[in-house]
Amino acid sequence: MSSLYDRHKAVIPDWIALYYRDPIEITHGEGRHVWDAHGRKYLDFFGGILTTMTAHALPEVTKAVAEQAGRIIHSSTLYLNRPMVELAERVAGLSGIPDARVFFTTSGTEANDAALLLATTYRGSNQILAMRNSYHGRSFSTVGITGNRAWSPTGLSPLQTLYVHGGVRGRGPYAGLTDERFIEACVADLEDMLGQTRAGVAALIAEPIQGVGGFTSPPDGLYAAFRRVLDRHGILWISDEVQTGWGRTGEHFWGWQAHGQAGPPDVLTFAKGIGNGMSIGGVVARAEVMNCLDANSISTFGGSPITMAAGLANLSHLLEHDLQGNARRVGGLLIERVRAAAAGVAEVREVRGRGLMIGIELTEPGTDRANPDAAAAVLETARENGLLIGKGGGHDTSTLRIAPPLSLTVAEAEEGAAILEQSLRSL
Ligand SMILES: Cc1ncc(COP(=O)(O)O)c(C=O)c1O
């Protein structure tokens, strides 16, 4: 009988990459822990790519899903849907966007695709500004605004995308500048780019902290400075909060708030954590933008009662237990421990991040050359020692990514940091 791995390879596309030399099958989870099919227990510092936001098997979410499944799983957008309206009300209120409307999808890709449809229709233009090293999803429209070549398999696109500097503080031509000069240089680059475009550009889309790109971000205030330029041209700002939303960054509920002087974005997209694993994505925009489409549009599964029930229970738990505050406190401690663990490890170029979104960039010792082999080796050793982490970053995957559920305890942070230290030192 062939292994699950062999069977996987026989029917699943080659471009779906699995972690580890011996890929693992996760069979169940609880809190911040998961178990594989051999019964091995792991501390989970990646949450299924930042998606298990509160905790594995959170009783409130399980109960909400089971109860909703027992009543009705699907009714469609043709009928009133109480859990969808309730979650939309809460998300609209939390978004900071005035007179907000919320459209639910089933993924972050589809949320960004909807945001692009809105922005290009509203502005009557297919020109989009995106950040270098960005990732916005896997569809034909979103790979066309994804600056990270490892995740953008085609150059064909319905959009004309103009890539702007600024998403990566520590690399590129402006890396050596002070924060203030860095922002000035990026704004000058944006102005220069806009001076070369013909019709009005539709929107700028940006992740406040780049997720797949390796948890890189600009200095606080860059997007506020960009906003002033965009406003002069009537260009919309879309904040892709798929990884940074719901308090993960600790200091802020949304990533855009690190650029708070700008006020809220025109359009905000979200996904991943809100459903704690149930497939919820969505886009928030003020009514004027959201309602600019003059044809019908639906997402059959978007806003389904069962995912909305999960989202409501998950969001309530997050807010009632102040998990944003926990991300700030425990994340602050964790990044200190990670910095200490990385000290003196020649391959570590930088430890960066905010809240429970921490990256460790690895290079060949003494150089700026990416070191994907070292990243793969640490990932492997950490797993052997009972810790799951992720990786990502730039052209070569050489940044370790740490993003546990937001309920992480101090003891778990200490335990994970100790395993990371051991794994880094075994390089
Ligand atoms: C910032 C960002 N936007 C969009 C997406 C796409 O979301 P999904 O995989 O749910 O389609 C991702 C997924 O990793 C993401 O990190």
How remote is the CA of residue 111 from the centroid of ligand 1, in Å?
Answer: 9
pLDDT, tens digit (0-9, with 9 covering 90-100), for 229-243 = 999 999 999 999 999
- Nearest-atom number in ligand 1 for the CA of 272 is 10
Q: Which of 152, 86, 141 is nearest to 118 (CA)?
A: 141
Residue with tokens 């475009």: 197
> Would you say residue 141 has pLDDT above 90?
yes
Residue nearest to atom 3 of ligand 1 (CA): 136
Q: Is the CB of 125 under 6 A from ligand 1?
A: no
**Tokens, residue 61:** 């979410």
pLDDT at 240: 98
> Is the CB–ligand 1 distance for residue 135 below 6 Å?
yes
pLDDT digits (tens, 9 = 90+) for 130-139: 999 999 999 9
- The Å distance, Cα 158 to ligand 1 centre, comes to 19
Residue 134 alpha carbon, nearest atom of ligand 1: 1
Per the structure block, which two tokens stand in for 173?
């031509």
pLDDT category, 198, cuts 50, 70, 90? confident
Q: How far is the CA of 108 from the centre of ligand 1 (A)?
A: 5
Separation of alpha carbons 142 and 329, rounded Å: 34
Residue 396 pLDDT class (50, 70, 90 cuts): confident
The verdict on the CB of residue 248 being under 6 Å from ligand 1 is no
Q: What is the pTM of this model?
A: 0.98
The per-residue pLDDT of the chain, averaged, comes to 97
**Alpha carbon of 180 to ligand 1 centroid (Å):** 30
The residue whose two tokens read 């503080």 is: 169
Please report the domains of the chain, with CATH numbers, ordered by start residue: 4-57+322-425 (3.90.1150.10), 62-320 (3.40.640.10)
Q: Please say if the pLDDT value at position 302 is more than 80.
A: yes
Q: How confident is the model at residue 261 (pLDDT cuts 50, 70, 90)?
A: confident
Short-list 191, 123, 134, 144, CA closest to 168: 134
Is residue 254 within 6 Å of ligand 1 at its C-beta? no
Is the pLDDT at 1 greater than 80? The verdict is no
Q: What is the pLDDT of residues 160-197, one digit of tens each?
A: 999 999 999 999 999 999 999 999 999 999 999 999 88
Residue with tokens 């020692």: 385
The answer to whether the CB of 29 falls within 8 A of the CB of 5 is: no
From residue 416, how far is each of 46, 52, 221, 376 by CA, in Å? 11, 17, 32, 17
- Rounded CA-CA distance 65/73 in Å is 9
279 lines ligand 1 (CB under 6 A): no
